[in-house]
Amino acid sequence: MHQKQYYKGRSLEQVEAALESEGLEVTHEEDEPGTTYDPHSHGEIVLAVVEGSMKLLLGDATFNLKQGDRYTVPANAPHSAIVGRKGVIYVTGAK
């Protein structure tokens, strides 16, 4: 599920704390512009963009995730990603 501007105006620390309050194990990443993630799958995760942007490709759908957006990637759903032109800082939360 794509929730636009869910974390609008929140800092990295605030987004991490919000995901931790949901009982999720949290990590964050910083990727350079143009970084790509090949198709892969894993358990369900919540992905939250703190700064920058990335394109998430999931099945036949493409989601343009921007600062403040939250997306829940379903368990075992093959997906890939391409980081936007200004790079990205994002947080993931998993059980």
DSSP letters spanning 48-89? EEEEEEEEEEETTEEEEEETT-EEEEPTT--EEEEEEEEEEE
The span from the CA of 39 to the CA of 89, in Å, is: 20
Helix (H, G, I), strand (E, B) or coil at 91: strand
Q: Kindly indicate the confidence band of residue 27, based on its pLDDT and cuts at 50, 70 and 90.
A: very high
Give the pLDDT confidence score for residue 43 in this predicted structure.
Answer: 96
Confidence (pLDDT) at 89? 98
pLDDT at 1 exceeding the cut of 90: no
Q: What's the whole-model pTM score?
A: 0.93
